[in-house]
Amino acid sequence: MPHGKIDRVMLFLMIGLVILGVIFVFSSSYYRAMHQGEDSTYYLTAHLKRVLVAIGFFLLGLMVPYEKIRKMILPLLVLIVLSLVLTIVTGRFQFGAKRSLVIASVGVQVSEFVRIWLVFFLANFFASHPQTANTRKGLATILSISFLMVVLVAIQPSISMSVICVATLFVMLIYGCAKFRLLLATSAVSIVILAIFVRVFPHAQYRIANFISQPTYQVQQSLIAIGSGGLFGKGPGAGLQKFLFLPGIHNDFIFAHIAEELGFIGCVVVFIFYWQIYLRGLSIAGALDDEFTRLLVLGLNASIFIIFLVHVGVSIGLVPPTGIPLPFISFGGWSLTANLFAVGIMLQASRRRIV
């Protein structure tokens, strides 16, 4: 019979990371705010507002039956595609890209929700059409729709988010027991699209070229921060890289800031939190008897852990700089919102675990 209760361990871990994020967003940004002539709590206040919005989406994910969302997969596809096109055409231009669609003076990053839609779409496809999924028709359907979304995200340009979407696609294909030819076709299309966009967008060429030849300035400073943290760190608030040495330290490189102030031990604790969330997600999926819900939880769970690994990989120089925030911790509203929404759905699914 269904368990009936949400997974409290996952809820506790998520809350712990969000609280840690509030602390380290302030720690990493107060000097930057004062340097800009603002109050020291400028970024903290902005982050707390984003946290409140994200909590609203978390409650939506927890309370709105995901079966209702499942029934809206096609209308949501149309809505997301139109939103992505509008973002490309009329979106707010920031940091060399149009990634926000302005609605009532609020910038909405629709691309953050593309991976969540992909998980819903693929979970539904594999659960509803298990035989069709590995046919030529199924292959064409999966790749055409998935890569339509990926290309629209990449054109913004947001190469990093499109790569996350492709990684999520691969994970879902594996969980859905796709045949080797489907994985091979997906790999081939992914490589071709990536090569085209690297060729078209100079900033992508620059990042990859620097990654191959030498670390960028940001990565160099990130490595200095991580190395200087040592075993136990310099202590909360005692890090030096936040004094404008490491750009994006409150967002794209907040893991390096944590490493500098909490050291190797602190990084291990943070890793354990993410690893435990991932394991709880696997545990929830393993206790479900509905194929759609199982695939949904597996996909959402994997996407969050992939983003965590990519962020850490950038911080230590193993992955080209991507601009991907650390889930639940980094300053950045729509990434936080999408991730809390995903956790809300997983916790809703945890109520249906079979005892």
pLDDT bin (cut points 50, 70, 90) of residue 85 is confident
The reported pLDDT for the residue numbered 97 is 62
Centroid of chain to Cα 171: 14
Tokens matching residue 44: 């903290």
Instruction: Report pLDDT for 329.
Output: 94
The residue-averaged pLDDT of 343-351 equals: 95
**Confidence bin at 70 (pLDDT 50/70/90):** very high
- Tell me how crowded residue 34 is: count the other CB atoms within 10 A of its CB: 13
More confident residue, 266 or 209: 266
Question: Is the pLDDT reported for residue 271 higher than 70?
Answer: yes
Distance CA 285, CA 340 (A): 18
Determine the average pLDDT of the residues in 187-207.
74
How many other CB atoms are found less than 10 A from the CB of residue 177? 12
| Per-residue model confidence (pLDDT) at position 200 | 72
In which band, very low, low, confident or very high, does the pLDDT at 3 lie, cut at 50, 70 and 90? Answer: low
Nearest to residue 10, comparing CAs of 61, 66, 70, 50? Answer: 61
Q: State the average pLDDT over residues 248-277.
A: 94
State the pLDDT at residue 255: 94
Asked if pLDDT for residue 38 goes beyond 80, the answer is yes
Rounded Cα distance between 126 and 142, Å, is 10
195 pLDDT exceeds 60?
yes
Provide the pLDDT for residue 278: 96
Give me the pLDDT at residue 355, please: 64
- By C-alpha distance, which of 274, 264, 293, 250 is closest to 126? 293
Which of the residue ranges 142-151, 166-175, 200-209 would you say has the lowest mean pLDDT? 200-209
* CB burial of residue 14 (10 Å; 0-12, 13-18, 19+): buried
As a whole number, the mean pLDDT across the chain is: 87
Q: Is the pLDDT of residue 332 over 80?
A: no
Sign for the CA dihedral angle at 69, 70, 75, 79 comes to positive
Of residues 124 and 138, the one with the higher pLDDT is: 124
| pLDDT above 70 for 172 | yes
pLDDT value at position 129?
A: 82
Regarding pTM above 0.75, the answer is: yes
Name the residue type at position 197. Answer: F
Which band of pLDDT confidence, cut at 50, 70 and 90, is reported for residue 2? low
332-342: average pLDDT: 90
* DSSP classification of residue 324: P
Measured CA to CA, the distance from residue 135 to residue 296 in angstroms comes to 22
Model confidence at 91, in pLDDT bands (50, 70, 90)? low
Mean pLDDT of 196-218: 72
